[in-house]
Structure 1
């Protein structure tokens, strides 16, 4: 599954060391602000929904990856942001590895099945160690966006 339906080049962010993103709360706040800006949503609403979802269980899926997501009522178009953090953050992942790659989403409450398929596809794609190594090695946001948005770079972890 290509990421293009959720992401655009401006939604792929190489977080700099000066941006507050040193713990899970700060990362969720940053993701919420970016999702709100891209989706035309109130930032506080997105933040609260991300935090509520995270309270159910960590969205840290292991290997330094987290997929925080929120289902939003009356959202016209699902949206996402990809963050590469400058240093790992404890997301409470089962493997104990700090997260440095974050794919955050705000999706419509009406698209539950599509959302679940999308989560599975994102987890599959980010489960590819070679692909994640290339994301971590990308020199800038343009290179990072190219890797994420170009379907030719997609290879399943299988």
Structure 2
């Protein structure tokens, strides 16, 4: 396939659409490509070329990084290019029913998080909220997370009698 081939253009459209879906569900700033690539440690030019269908010469490692960032199933890009009739296979996005910046001195409250198959999705949502916190709130969140992880470790260490 060559650049601007209809399959590559369609792939780019689907990637842009997926990024905007992620922006609505996880981090509103991801509607901006620059913020998305920065948050996922991607190369801006490569991501831009992919979203516009401008190139067709990417290696498997690039596909894997793009698939993780866009929360696509492993191999989704190559499968799509081999058979354009299928949509890109996506991992479900974490849905946050209420997300807001905390008020001064208030702990962050997220009423419901629908945890999906992919732990990275949950971490992306946590990161988004964490970035909005003050230093004091971040310290409290770190302490709380350590307590939760210690509780999980303690409960998994106990063997049933």
TM-score, normalising length: structure 1: 0.29
Q: Which has the higher contact order (CA 8 A, sep 6+)?
A: 1
Bigger share in helix: 2
| Structure showing greater Rg | 2
